[in-house]
Structure 1
Amino acid sequence: MTTNVSECFNGVLKGARSLPITAMVKYTWFKLNSYFDDRRNKSIAQLNSRQKWTKYALDIFMRNKAKAEHHRVTRLSAQQQSYQVDTPHNPGICIRYRHDAEQYIDPCYSVDALFRSYAPIFPALKDRLSWSDPEETRRVLPNPRLIRAKGRPVSTRIRNEMDEGGNRPRTTPWKEGGRKVQCGLCDQEGHNRRTCPKRNEVPTSGGVAD
Structure 2
Amino acid sequence: MIPDQHEPIQVAVNHSGGDWQPPRTWWMFCTRYIGSNFLRAFKVPHLQKLVVNIGYSRTVEEYNINYKRLEEQGEAYARWCDAIGLRHWVLAFDEGHRWGHMTTNLVECINSVLKGARNLPVLALVRATYYRLNEHFTRKSAETHEHKHAGFNYSVFAQQRIEANMQCVGNIVMHRFDRRNEVFEVREMSNEKVLVVDLAQRLCDCGHFEVERLLCRHIIACCTNQRLDWQLYVHDVYRMTEGPTLVANPALRRTSKGRPKLTQYLNEMDSRDMCGPRICRLCGRQGHSQSRYPQCAGLSGAGDDGGS
TM-score where L is the length of structure 2? 0.31
More helix per residue: 2
Question: TM-score, normalised to structure 1's length?
Answer: 0.44
